[in-house]
Structure 1
C-alpha cells in the first residue's frame, strides 16, 4: 500500500472521528437549557390514581415499587392512562403524614409521545394530613418553589396538580380531592445547566458566593431553618462551570407554610433561638458585603414580580385567609430588607462564621 493511500485512509478516519465527536457534543448541547413538556406550562393538570396509603407505606421502599395506572386529563373531557411505578419516600413526612410522599418511575417506552416524555423519575408532593387546611398548606409550599424560580436559575421545575385519589377501605372506596405537585428529577436540573449532581458534601464557603447568598435570603424570606447546604439536608448540590451551586427543596416546615405539624428544626444538633417556625432566622454564611448588597437589590427589584406571581394563584386558595397570610408573610420580609437598620441587624450581623 502506497503512502498516498495510507494518508488518505488516515484522513478519512480522522474525519469520521471528528464527525462523531462533533455529533456527540451537539447531542449534549441540546440538553442545556431544555425544559421538558411537562414543566413548560403552568396550567394545572388533573390526575387520578387508585392506591391504599398504608399499602404504599408498608410494601414499598428504595427498591420495591407498586405498579398502577396514572390517569391524566389532556383536554376538556379526554383522559389518558400512563403506567407508572410508585414507592414511598421521605423521612419525617413518611412517619408523620397520612398521605405518603411518592416517588414515580416511568418507563421510556411508556412516556414516549405523552405529556411525560423525557421524565423517567418524578417526585410527587402531596398534602400531609386529612385536615381542612391541607390543600392551602400544599399550595403555599408549591409557591415557595415558584418564588425560587425568580431568585436563581438553579431551581427545580414544578407542576401543580388537582388529584382525585381513590383509596379502598374494606368494601368502600374513600375518594380524596387533594392538590399536589410534581417536581422534576435533580438530574434534569443538572443537564439543563450542563453540570452534574454532586453526591459528596461541600462546605458552604466553597460554594458559589452569589448562589449561596441567594439561597440564604430565600430561606430567610420563607422563614425556613429546616435545611443545611453543608450536609445536603433539603438541598442538592450541582457542579456547574467548576463551581458548586445549592438547589433547595422541601419547604413544608417553613414559616410561609406554617403547617399544623411544623416544628422548629434542629439541623446538625444546633439549638436555634426561635420557638415558632414563623420567626425568621438568617442561616447563611458571611460573605463579602458586596454580594449581600447585590442580592438585596435583586430581591427588592423582584418584589413586584414575586407578589404578582403569588396573586396569580389567588383563586387556587380554598380560604381567603390563607392567601392573605401568604402575601403578608412575604411582605414582612421585604420590610426587613428595605430598612437599613433591620437589614443589618437581622441579616448582615446574623451571618454565620461556622
Structure 2
C-alpha cells in the first residue's frame, strides 16, 4: 500500500512541527521510495544504441528509441522500451561515452521494477578503462554519503552495464560501471514537496539544508555547483520550509579526482585554488549555532560514512583509487574535529550577501 498523506494530515503535521528546525523535521520527512531504488545491489542491464548517433541527433527534446534489458530478482531477463538522449555538454564533447537520460512510458513501466519512474539519468564512464570505472564508483559514493546526511537527496542505483555501441551493421561490446539517478520530481514526491524552477538566493534557502549542502560540497572538494543559479543542483519546496537545495553531478570533485577535472568558474568567478583536491568552503554567513549543529551532525555520521566507503573497497579495480578517496574523506573530518582548523577553513571563509 502506498503511503499517502491526506490534506488534513498535512495541516496537523505542519502545525505540530512548525516550531522544529529543518534538521529535526528531517526525521519525519522521508516517505516513499520506489522498488528500483530500495535495493542497494548492482542491477545488471543491457543497453544497445549508437553513441555517435546519440551525440549527433539528440538534444533536450529529441530522443532515440531503444530497448533496455534488465535482470530480475529471479535471474531471468526482461526488456522494456525506452527513449534515450545525450546529456552533459562537457562530457558529451570530451568523453568516451556521453551520460544519457532515459524516458519510460508509464504503460511500459507498469508492473516492472521501473514502475513509478518516468525519467532517469544514467551515469557512464568518461574513460574506457579500469580507472574510468573507478571514477564512476567514487561519484556514486558521493551520492550515498549525502544520503546519510539528509533525506533531501537523489536516490541512486548501481548498474552492471553490458553496453553494445552500434556501428553500422556491427556493434562493439563493453562491460561498464554505471548508476541511475532518480528524477527531481521523484525526490519532491518522496519528501512531500514539489520542485522549484525559479532561482532563489542561497540566503533565502532553508538554513540547515543549505549548510549541509555546503559542508557536503566541501567534503567532496567540489566547486562545480551554484545554489544561486541551480548549477548542478535543484530546488524543492516543502510546505512550512524554505527552498531546499538538492545537489547532483560530482564528477568534477576532488573526491573523484578525474584527470579531466578542473576548478570551475561559475558566472566567471575565479576561485583562489588551482586543483580540485584543494578544498574551498563556499558557504554563506548564517547563525553560528546552525553551523555548529551541522558540524556535529557530520562528525556523528563519520563512522557510518567511513563504513560505507569500506564496504566498496573490494569493488575498486585500483586499490590506489580507493585509498586516495578514503584519505580525502578522512581529511574532511580532520578539519571538522580540530577547532582551529575548522575556524580557519570554514568559519573564516563564510561569504556575505555581496
TM, length-normalised to structure 1? 0.90
Cα separation, 2, equivalents of 1:60 and 1:183? 20
Kindly report which structure 2 residues correspond to 1:1-354, keeping only aligned pairs within 5 A, or say none. Answer: 25=7, 33-75=31-73, 77-241=75-239, 242-353=241-352, 354=354
Please identify the structure whose Cα radius of gyration is greater: 1
Q: Output one character per residue of 1:23-77: Cα deviation in whole Å (capped at 9) or x when no partner.
A: 9749999x97111010011011000011111100111112211111101011464
Cα separation, 1, equivalents of 2:189 and 2:89? 27
Cα separation, 2, equivalents of 1:351 and 1:99? 38
How far did residue 172 of structure 1 move? Answer: 3.8
Bigger mean CA offset, 72-81 vs 145-154: 72-81
- Contact 1:122–1:184 (8 Å) recurs in 2: yes
Q: Output one character per residue of 1:6-25: Cα deviation in whole Å (capped at 9) or x when no partner.
A: xxxxxxxxxxxxxxxx9974
Q: Output one character per residue of 1:77-120: Cα deviation in whole Å (capped at 9) or x when no partner.
A: 41111111101112222222121111101111111110001111
Partner in structure 2 of residue 5 of structure 1: none
Q: Output one character per residue of 1:149-190: Cα deviation in whole Å (capped at 9) or x when no partner.
A: 011110000000010101133454211111111000100111
- Contact 2:130–2:317 (8 Å) recurs in 1: no
Cα separation, 2, equivalents of 1:123 and 1:99? 14
DSSP 3-state at the match of 1:243? coil
Report the count of equivalent residues: 332
Q: Which runs of 5+ in 2 are unaligned?
A: 14-28
DSSP 3-state at the match of 2:83? strand
- Contact 2:196–2:235 (8 Å) recurs in 1: yes
Partner in structure 1 of residue 17 of structure 2: none
DSSP 3-state at the match of 1:150? helix
Cα separation, 2, equivalents of 1:257 and 1:23? 39
DSSP 3-state at the match of 1:153? coil
Structure 1 residues 329 and 23, CA, compared in 2 at 3 Å: closer, same or farther? closer
Aligned residues: CA RMSD: 1.9
Bigger mean CA offset, 271-280 vs 164-173: 164-173
